[in-house]
Chain A
Amino acid sequence: MAGGTVVLNEISAPLIAKKARPGQFVILKANETGERIPLTMADTDPKKGTITIIYQIVGKSTSLFKSLQVGGSFQDVIGPLGKPTHIEKLGTVVCVGGGTGVAVMHPITKALKEAGNRVIAIIGARSKDLLILEDKMKAASHELHVCTDDGSYGHHGFVTDVLKEILAKEDVKLVVGIGPVPMMKFVSKITAEYKVKTFVSLNAIMVDGTGMCGCCRVSVGGETRFACVDGPEFDGHKVDFEELNQRLQAYKAEEAEATNKYTCQCRAER
């Protein structure tokens, strides 16, 4: 099991494909004993009746997802959930995607362009081999900047470096930031300096995804909101990223235990 590997699944889910809008997510459960995992959709094809998810392998659940063969199935797929991204014509907008956040960013970028905005996209990854959807993002935007942390491709450095340069010279009306928590935090910090409205998409831990359990609560502007029904997108300038980051670590020990056990089982079966 290669940690860090990025996987794409196209799933037949006609009802969801028909209804889904950019920014919405699904909940997936691989098998009877599996967890319910929320993932924002990277694409939908209402005609084919499919939805696409792209994720990085980080633990047991994502490993289980990856182990599904073409033609196999997730036991449960539920959605579309969450509020869709609010798309309107504003002028110049910047879409910043990091890691697998680029996958989530893609349909939003496309929709913003279709709505008549001038769209500048910045995408980044740790290194070239983890970079995804470059061509699609190029097609979905007017201008694309690519960054890698290790300099193996494109701009050597963080997406926030490029964002800063753009904000300094352009009249940007909106920034959308989707990626790892530290990235979204720094994107929001920079845009706050330039007073540019910013949305981020939060990947809180969830159970039901329908507002029933409150697992995904986040502090936004000092108020508790549920990422599943009030979000997943919130005003980046108001999100308590520290709290979000801590809450994402809630089950770190259990995740490690489950992953180790699963890895050992896989080895033994081999």
Chain B
Amino acid sequence: MEDFMSEKTGKSDQVSRQPMPEQKPEIRRRNFEEVPFGYTEELAVKEAERCLDCKKPACMNGCPVSVNIPDFIRFIKERKYTQAIRKIWERNALPAVCGRVCPQESQCEGECILGKKGTPVAIGNLERFVADLERKHGKGDLPPKAKSTGKKVAVVGSGPSGLTVAGDLILKGHDVTIFEAFHKPGGVLVYGIPEFRLPKEIVFSEVNFLERLGAKVECNVVVGRTVDLDELFEQGFDAVYLGLGAGLPKFLNVPGENLIGIYSANEYLTRSNLMKAYLFPEYDTPIVKGRNVAVFGAGNVAMDAARTAMRLGAETVRIIYRRSREEMPARAAEIHHAEEEGIEFYLLTAPVRFIGDEKGRVTGMECLKMELGEPDASGRRSPVPIEGSKFHLECDMAVVAVGSGANPILTSSTKGLGLNKWGYIVADTETGKTTRKGVWAGGDIVTGSATVILAMGAGRMASDSMHKYLALGW
């Protein structure tokens, strides 16, 4: 049967995509261990063999950092894993992260030719496989580095875009220092994305990789407060990259929002992830463990918060979203994982106010049912309240995950940096250059809340431009 099929249709498309082995929902919903286990070698090779090795690989067009996907997959087919990881490193310093958190379905895998008729090659799973293998069993080889240029670069923010810039420029021979405001490097990869989706050990290992290449990491430095941009230039830095992230939480602005037990997603996730409040009292930072939890918003961050609350022992966790399922911005896979874990979805529902007890703790909320009206500025049909649809929901903890704005700490204390009307930094879309000489910016502080890989794409673009500047001038 197999022979017959392969003669007739080519050998690849009859083997279906190898599913990722993962923890069962009823188990994982109560622990913080990573959900997928990762491919075994056999699964990885089998999956790699599905790749048609197209002459004009569409998958690469879908990758914001242009990883040479067919080449690294070919190395997996040949079981040459060290060469596979080296191939990825040429374009991407954070493969273990990207293999886990990139929205592959709308990027590389979304373009894969196999996906037209069946299922695309599991590029993300394969990337993760080689990155994990290297981390666990690799010899710690480093990619080749250009000889020193004597130029100093400051990277402000150690999130995905900053790490990308640092990785690129260190390989090109520049002297790179990363400044991080928190006490640990990694930015959103550490404070935002939960352990069960991205184990922190992986982020630290990726940062360590950059340190072994020679990058310096200075934590506890709030640029804009501890030092400012002018001082960095005075200290001899030749170029600065601002990858600050979008660190200003948005709230719902409904009455009662300051009751105890209502968190911004940033606070809730930072407590749990960075401060390890899920391990309280082994770690000192506490967190409210809700029984009935409401999470507002339907993006990836909302899913992360909801699934964290479930793992902290909640009986019910409800995602409350004022639009319908179609408009939910989260990745399909994240929504699916959340549903499997028992998260409930209250769609077309909007909060009106929170209700609290005499101690100022949240006990419930009033909501309204919505219907979809005309499309708004974003092109999405805007929700309109249904009259007389008010109803009460109990909740003893709530997380507001409706996005972030631009944090003004650095931008308000820095001269010559152009900002748009929302306070985001104005940067050239081709180069990442800001209005100030020698300063580049990228990631959420330019675009507003987006994804890890888009931030990395912005970092890649900026690092090319920075390298040119350091060699040739502004």
Interface with A: B54-62, B282-290, B464-472, which one? B282-290
Q: Residues of B with Cβ closer than 8 Å to A?
A: 181-183, 219-222, 225-227, 247-249, 251, 257-258, 260-261, 263-264, 266-267, 270-271, 275-276, 280-286, 288, 359-360, 407-409
Cβ–Cβ < 8 Å partners of B181 in chain A:
78, 208, 210
Cβ–Cβ < 8 Å partners of A213 in chain B:
249, 264, 266-267, 270
A144 to chain B minimum Cβ distance, whole angstroms, is 33
Q: Are B260 and A219 in contact (CB under 8 A)?
A: no
Q: Are A80 and B226 in contact (CB under 8 A)?
A: yes
CA–CA, A34 to B280, complex, Å? Answer: 11
Interface mask (A242-268 → B, CB under 8 Å = 1, otherwise 0):
110011011100110110010000000
Main secondary structure of the interface of B (DSSP, over half): loop
Q: Are A246 and B360 in contact (CB under 8 A)?
A: yes
Main secondary structure of the interface of A (DSSP, over half): mixed
CA–CA, A35 to B280, complex, Å? Answer: 11
Cβ–Cβ < 8 Å partners of B247 in chain A:
208, 210-212
Cβ–Cβ < 8 Å partners of B267 in chain A:
207, 213-215
Interface mask (A64-87 → B, CB under 8 Å = 1, otherwise 0):
100000000001111111000000
Cβ–Cβ < 8 Å partners of B281 in chain A:
254, 257-258, 261
Cβ–Cβ < 8 Å partners of B270 in chain A:
207-208, 212-213
Cβ–Cβ < 8 Å partners of A251 in chain B:
286
Q: Are A246 and B275 in contact (CB under 8 A)?
A: no
CA–CA, A246 to B362, complex, Å? Answer: 12
A207 to chain B minimum Cβ distance, whole angstroms, is 5
A60 interface contact, C-beta 8 A: yes
Q: Are A212 and B266 in contact (CB under 8 A)?
A: yes
CA–CA, A243 to B362, complex, Å? Answer: 13
Residue of B226, B280, B360 touching A247 (CB-CB under 8 A)? B360
Residue of A16, A35, A224 touching B284 (CB-CB under 8 A)? A35
CA–CA, A60 to B285, complex, Å? Answer: 11
A245 to chain B minimum Cβ distance, whole angstroms, is 9
Q: A215-B263, A246-B359 are in contact. List 12 more A-B contacts (CB 8 A).
A: A15-B221, A19-B226, A33-B284, A35-B285, A36-B275, A78-B220, A213-B266, A214-B249, A214-B266, A242-B360, A258-B280, A258-B286
Q: Are A258 and B260 in contact (CB under 8 A)?
A: no
Task: Report the contact-size class of chain A (Cβ under 8 Å from the partner).
Answer: 35 or more
Given A213-B264, A250-B260 in contact, is the A79-B284 Cβ separation under 8 Å?
Answer: no
Given A212-B249, A212-B270 in contact, is the A61-B220 Cβ separation under 8 Å?
Answer: no
CA–CA, A250 to B257, complex, Å? Answer: 14
A13 to chain B minimum Cβ distance, whole angstroms, is 9
CA–CA, A207 to B285, complex, Å? Answer: 9
Instruction: Determine the residue in chain B with the shortest Cβ distance to A243.
Output: B258
Cβ–Cβ < 8 Å partners of A255 in chain B:
286
Q: Are A76 and B220 in contact (CB under 8 A)?
A: yes
Given A33-B283, A213-B270 in contact, is the A79-B225 Cβ separation under 8 Å?
Answer: yes
Q: Of residues B227, B263, B288, B360, which shows the largest number of chain A Cβ atoms within 10 Å of its Cβ?
A: B360
A229 interface contact, C-beta 8 A: yes
15 contacts between A and B (CB under 8 A): A19-B227, A33-B276, A60-B284, A61-B284, A64-B284, A78-B220, A78-B222, A207-B275, A207-B285, A208-B247, A214-B267, A229-B408, A247-B360, A254-B280, A258-B280
A29 interface contact, C-beta 8 A: yes
Q: Are B225 and A34 in contact (CB under 8 A)?
A: no
CA–CA, A213 to B275, complex, Å? Answer: 13
A38 to chain B minimum Cβ distance, whole angstroms, is 13
Residue of A19, A217, A218, A261 touching B225 (CB-CB under 8 A)? A19
